[in-house]
Chain A
Amino acid sequence: DAGITQSPRHKVTETGTPVTLRCHQTENHRYMYWYRQDPGHGLRLIHYSYGVKDTDKGEVSDGYSVSRSKTEDFLLTLESATSSQTSVYFCAISSKDWALVGEQFFGPGTRLTVL
């Protein structure tokens, strides 16, 4: 299995609080992705990174920010959590780009509940 971990694995928080999720990889892959998964919506891309300090928005980036100060870590921050951000969050990594971008390895996921 690809060396990718996520922390925390479960979190319950209250509306309006800040939350940071961490993705850590030991594969030295260039690309890292944050997705959220909700029933009926499949996986939706929040943000992604193509190198240290190089990030870009995905299709559902509003309310989220990211940072990547080291190759191995990609942080996702909810500045002020809302109930609509209750979801399962997956981090993914890849060493491939362009046509091979789909060869991604996923972390175990973080289940976030915002009350």
Chain B
Amino acid sequence: QKEVEQNSGPLSVPEGAIASLNCTYSDRGSQSFFWYRQYSGKSPELIMFIYSNGDKEDGRFTAQLNKASQYVSLLIRDSQPSDSATYLCAVEAAGNKLTFGGGTRVLVKP
């Protein structure tokens, strides 16, 4: 069983709407959680990270963490066509490593 699960999508949202992406993880000991964005044919880039339960906001992005339920989510407000990409959830694993989910493809339609 994969340790980090994401819906592969595509998640289709109209321009200006909120895109909501979810990620669940299996290791209760994980302490930190990361969201990467990857455009088609490009390398991943870090956009958000969160360590504490609750919400963390950065511009149009909000990360939400619930350790008791073992999920982390990413909200993209006022979605733009330039937000169309694959979003990878990553969870810190013991030994200075990351475990990635399979990614959720987001399509923002004008």
Contacts and interface: CB of A to CB of B under 8 A. Distances in A.
Interface of A: 31, 35, 40-45, 48, 50, 56, 58-59, 90, 97-109
Nearest to B4: A42
Main secondary structure of the interface of A (DSSP, over half): mixed
Contacts of A31: 96
Contact of A50 (B34, B51, B96): B96
A56 B97 CA distance: 10
B96 A101 contact: yes
B102 A102 contact: no
A104 B32 contact: no
Nearest to B89: A42
B49 interface: yes
Interface residue range, chain B: 20 to 34
A42 B98 contact: no
B97 A103 contact: no
A105 B44 CA distance: 8
B17 interface: no
Given A102-B32, A108-B43, A45 B97 contact: yes
A101 B92 contact: yes
B49 A103 contact: yes
B101 A97 contact: no
Given A42-B103, A103-B46, A48 B96 contact: yes
Interface string B88-110: 10101001111111110000000
A64 to B, nearest CB: 16
A44 B77 CA distance: 29
Contacts of A56: 95
Given A43-B88, A107-B43, A109-B43, A102 B95 contact: no
